Chain A
Amino acid sequence: MEEAQDRVAVFRQVYEANYGRILAYALRRYDEQEADDVVADTFLVAWRRLADVPTGDLALPWLYGVARKVLSQARRSRLRRGRLLAKVAALRGRDDELAESTVQEDRDLVASALARLSDDDCELLRLESWEDLTHAQIAVAFGCSANAVTVRLHRAHKRFARALASVDREVGGPEQKASA
């Protein structure tokens, strides 16, 4: 009985310290309903594999790694990509609306550029830029070495820059406007 209580206490610590970050992670990628599912699945895995959850600062990237696997189900990925591509198509006919919100415009352009990358490239870039993880932390989430993360991120940045430039050209984004 005492062991069970200890277990709940340990899990509560992990849960309360990381719930917000994991939910934010999911909300950055999916709608609210899907994000709730991702959070539930991620912490259920943590509960069942509590002995495997690293202590301290490494718990969060470990949870990101689980969440990433939960998210990487092909069906969800395809659905999301479809939505993003649809956004690009919609953008082309909405010049007036675009002018109303430069911030939203650029978010859509960035989302469109991300949608042109591989899932791994996307995730590496977002973990670094949105989740503010170090290369060592991303390595925990990805299950590879920090050196490998550095190399892969370098390539992902290049591909992202190319994709973003391409999207800008297609919809007349900030880069085009700035150079005009």
Chain B
Amino acid sequence: VSERKDPVDRLRAANPVPKGSEPTADSPVAQALFHRIVSEPAVAERAPKRRFLFRAWILVPIAVVGLAAAGYGIYRAVRQPLVVACYQGPSLSTTREGVAASTTDALANCMGLWRPGGRFNARGTQPVPDLTACVLDDGTVGVFPQPAGTDTCSLLGLAPARPGAGGSDQQAVVDLQNAVADRFIASCVDRPEAIAFLRSQLQHFHLEGWRVDASVPFTSGRPCASAAYDLAARTIDLVPIPRPSSP
């Protein structure tokens, strides 16, 4: 005991994974994780001349998620889910992961987390469980494992999220976002052009009742358009952002 009186020695000796006993990267778990990661898009890997694209990619989703979250607080019906909460267990207190809704099928949005190497199945040892979608208290969609013979939504006191609710509208909003992202990311779009484009897209996707809010002034320092979606107010806010830096 006396030889370990020095705090530094005691700290070193308390190392829970002693040096030399570190895991290796050739285990099946490590390899599964590797393949899962390299199958992900390399979103931040851009050429210098396309810095604008990177900024836009960051700004648009942040604005979308932020406004969507705010909007859902008062808009309780699940019409246009852009974010889905995926739960690891049939409980509201288990690990939860928020994913951007890339499809209107809420279950499909969470499926990736359960595949081998996914966040909920890192070791690849368990099959993808049966999943069910419920409406959470804040109006968003939560996807939970559903053990055989149980009704997870009922057990949690939640209403089931019916896939058909607002289906066509949901898909239209997702399609609109994709179209807008493609256009605004491709180049610096000024205010008049952005308004015209958004109006034409709303018409194209038959999104009636939506409007474009361009009240935030564009300036010489922020001359390019980005978009944020306020689902509750059915409004697309034009957000001015700086011009891309020269390469």
Contacts and interface: CB of A to CB of B under 8 A. Distances in A.
A49 to B, nearest CB: 5
Contacts of A36: 29, 122-123
Given A7-B45, A48-B42, A164-B10, A174 B34 contact: no
Interface in A2-56: 7-8, 11-12, 15-17, 19-21, 23-24, 27-28, 36-37, 39-40, 43-44, 47-51
A130 B12 contact: yes
A21 B20 CA distance: 10
A21 B14 contact: no
B21 to A, nearest CB: 8
B8 A47 contact: no
B44 A49 contact: yes
A23 B4 contact: no
Interface stretch (A65-73, A87-95, A102-110, A144-152): A102-110
Contacts, number: 108
A23 B23 contact: yes
B42 A7 contact: yes
B7 A164 contact: yes
A129 B22 contact: no
B4 A106 contact: yes
Contacts of B77: none
B15 A40 contact: no
Given A19-B25, A130-B12, A11 B38 contact: yes
B4 A19 contact: no
A50 B14 contact: no
Contacts of A24: 17, 21-23
A40 B42 contact: no
Interface of B: 1-2, 4-5, 7-8, 10-17, 19, 21-26, 29-30, 33-34, 36-38, 40, 42-45, 119, 122-123
Interface of A: 7-8, 11-12, 15-17, 19-21, 23-24, 27-28, 36-37, 39-40, 43-44, 47-51, 102-103, 106-107, 109-111, 113-114, 125, 129-130, 132, 157, 160-161, 164, 174-175, 177-178
